Amino acid sequence: MAEVKLSAKTRDAFGKGAARRARREGLVPGVVYGHGTEPVHVNLPGHDLMLALKTPNVLLSLDVDGKKQLVIPKAIQRDAIKGFLKHVDLLLVKRGEKVTVEVRVHTEGELAPGSNLLEHLLNALPVETEATHIPESVTVSIAGLDAGHSILAKDITLPAGTTLAVEEDTVVLQVVGAQAEAPAAEGEAEGEA
């Protein structure tokens, strides 16, 4: 995964008013923390940050007033209606350090013929991996699965250097048979009419 470079400026004004002023200027308030350091409050360029966050678990090379740091997004707040970024929490990481993140689960293939439905119990799989080699997603084959089959976390092939951060027996996907309503009996249908 490539690093996305962003520059940020420290901020000393806090509260709703300061956050609104920053957003009007196209900035997103945020905080950088981790490794036992004091949290640093920053303003980040809104458009560049929005583009960077389109990549899941993106690794950011952040330049805060001339000091370069590697961070990953930990919590992102968006406006519920308009969807713009309101605030972001960034976690400091180091090269070679293991981090726990959630990786999207993608499926490939077709289920067995019939009225079967695929149920995603986990859309994202918690894994532990090196901070500079976070996979964007994992792919699971569902080809030929029939009702009653399930895929456990241990059944998913993970990239090298990545381990599960959940129990191996956690159900990630399961195939269920579609349930159709039984047609109403003729006598009942006439009585309702």
Q: What is the pLDDT of residues 22-49, one digit of tens each?
A: 888 888 999 999 888 898 999 999 889 8
Return the sign of the alpha-carbon dihedral for residues 179, 183, 184, 190.
Answer: positive
Q: How far is CA 86 from the centre of its chain?
A: 17
The verdict on residue 188 lying in a domain is no
Residues 14 and 84 reside in one and the same domain: yes
CA angle (8 as vertex; 10, 5 as ends), nearest 5 = 155
Residue 193's pLDDT band, with cuts at 50, 70 and 90, is: low
Are residues 113 and 57 located together in one domain of the fold? Answer: no
Out of 72, 93, 114, a domain closes at: 93
Answer whether residue 182 is part of any domain: no
Show the DSSP H helices in the chain as ranges: 16-24, 46-52, 186-192
Question: Domain boundary at 62, 93, 124, which?
Answer: 93
CB neighbours of 124 closer than 8 A, spacing ≥ 6? 102, 103, 104, 105
Of 58, 93, 128, the residue at which a domain comes to its end is 93
Same domain, 130 and 109: yes
User: Residue 170 corresponds to which tokens in the numbers above?
Assistant: 């956690």
More confident residue, 188 or 3: 3
Q: Please give the pLDDT value at position 127.
A: 92
Predicted local confidence at residue 90, as pLDDT = 92
Residue 191 has pLDDT above 80, yes or no: no
Residues 105 and 54 in one domain: no
Beta bridge partners of 121: none
Q: What is the pLDDT of residue 126?
A: 92
The larger pLDDT score, comparing residue 187 to residue 179, is at 179
The whole model's pTM is what?
0.73
Confidence at residue 145, expressed as pLDDT on a 0 to 100 scale: 84
Asked whether residue 51 is assigned to any structural domain, the reply reads: yes
Which of 37, 25, 178 shows the shortest CA–CA distance to 113? 178
How far lies 134's CA from each of 5, 32, 140, 148, in Å? Answer: 17, 19, 18, 32
Question: Is residue 123 in a domain?
Answer: yes
Percent of the chain scored above 70 by pLDDT? 92
> What range does the domain containing 118 cover?
99-177
How far is residue 102's CA from residue 96's CA, in Å, rounded to a whole number?
18
Query: What is the structure's pLDDT at 89?
Result: 92
The answer to whether residue 187 scores a pLDDT higher than 60 is no
Q: Are residues 89 and 142 in the same domain?
A: no
Residue 108's identity, in one-letter code, is: E
Domain CATH number, residue 132: 2.170.120.20
Same domain, 53 and 89: yes
Q: At 120, is the secondary structure helix, strand, or coil?
A: strand
**106 and 157 in a common domain:** yes
What total number of domains does the chain contain?
2
